[in-house]
Amino acid sequence: MAAAATTIEAMGSARLTAARGLMEVFGSGGYSNIVLDHKLEQEDLSPQDRSFCAALFYGVIEQALALDYAIGKYSSIPVKKLSPGVLAALRCGFYQLLHMPSVPPSAAVNETVTITRQLGERRAAGFVNGVLRSFLRAGMAVPEPKDKLTALSVAYSIPAPLIQYWRKSYGQEMTLRILEGSRGPAPIFARVNTCRTTAAELTELLAGQGVQAEEAGVKDALRLTAPGSITRLPAFQEGLFHIQDLSSQLCAAAADPRPGMRVLDVCAAPGGKSFTMAQLMENQGELVCCDLHPHRVKLIEEGAARLGLNILRPMVQDATQYNPERGSFDRVLCDVVCSGYGILRRKPEIRYKPLETLDGIWLVQYNILETSAKYCKEGGRLVYSTCTLNPQENQQVVQRFLDAHGEFRLVEPMTTLVKGELDCDGFFYAVLERKTTK
């Protein structure tokens, strides 16, 4: 009995940690991964409880809109008027009841009431208990909205204005593919370090380390199943692969970096695309990889050292400021800061950003693209990319650049990637070439 009580108490701590993290994400707009990492550092949770906490935390963020809709059907108080603590507790309770079948309903209710008190909402404990038990008595039924747009919004927990924007930009069929790609869990893909091993050799080696790896549909990319702690794998520590989504791997390949070339990655941290390009260059030539922040440049240095890629030249550089001392390059990759609508299953809180908060971001992106173009030599390639699904940040930026710079041309049609045959993140890239004057 004592052991069981200890387990329940620890799981309660996991729920409380998740709820506090949720209050921070939805209250101050913190990044989910940073918030959770910080919260877990403060708590002494077992690996099992840390896993439960993460599943609850990310699950609630991804489903917050849908959870609020369900809560609203059973709460006598409008969701918008609930205090942050009560709302966080109810979201955790409803998520466990709807999406965590391994949690007994009684435990979900009782523990939610407990964390309500622990969050300083002691007077609301009875209210939370009543809402959850009403939901249980109703068979956990959530009536489907009659309006089709609202129904779609609730089904995917995506705000209706964003769905409408995607429909207008991409059409109904592609919008549905985007919505499907917005839900987790996100797959884990490994990029084989071809300077040290092959896909076949790495697959066999990982199998011996308890990880299933299979071809992912992109050359030298493997999909990993049940990897546990990736950084603890001997194959990872030996620098035989790095983690990178298929979309980013395709973008790096589109730059067509070759052995002996001089390549520039203007917004490189944490370094994934630089690592892939260096491997495609067979670790021959020079690859200058820049970032604005010194601590992020350090991440590139550490990754390159682990992978044994000595052609990388990590350095601090503002991508909006041209530095003629850098010289000219055969290939320039310009992977700019963006709204991130292509990676909702990895950073689910992004979906709740109001569209109007993105006004003006394209100006920064355009500035970076124009600055990056100055480094591209005649006959060289300039690749512009984002991990978002927003034409204003993608096609419109590239077209505006082409209209103003007749010295560049598109090498191939602009590419928008969404989940389909490849289970990749949403992504955009355009491959440009500086025309030769001879």
What residues act catalytically? 387
φ/ψ of residue 320, rounded to 5: -90, -5
Angstrom distance (rounded) from CA 292 to CA 298: 11
Q: Is 154 helix (H, G, I), strand (E, B) or coil?
A: helix
CA–CA gap between residue 260 and residue 117 (Å, rounded)? 63
Do 399 and 350 meet the contact criterion of CB atoms below 8 Å apart?
Answer: no
Where do we find the tokens 């394209």?
362
CA dist 378 to 42, 212, 310, Å?
53, 45, 27
Tell me which DSSP letter residue 418 carries: -
Residue 373 in tokens: 């173009």
3-state class of 434 per DSSP?
A: strand
How far is 46 from 251, CA to CA, in rounded Å? 39
Give the position of tokens 């070439």: 433
Three-class secondary structure of residue 385 per DSSP: strand
Using CA atoms, how far residue 212 sits from 41, 183, 222, 242, in Å, is: 29, 23, 9, 16
Give the Cα-Cα-Cα angle 234, 235, 239 (nearest 5 degrees): 110
Residue 278 near residue 260 (C-beta atoms within 8 A)? no
CB of 385 closer than 8 Å to CB of 333 = yes
Please list the residues that pair with 255 across neighbouring strands. Answer: none
Among the residues of 333-394, which ranges form H helices?
Answer: 361-373
Cα separation of 325 and 334, whole Å? 18
Long-range Cβ pairs for the range 142-147 (8 Å, 24+):
142/69, 142/70, 142/73, 142/98, 143/73, 145/69
CA distance 351 to 41: 26
Compute the distance between CA of residue 156 and CA of residue 372 in angstroms, rounded to an integer.
37
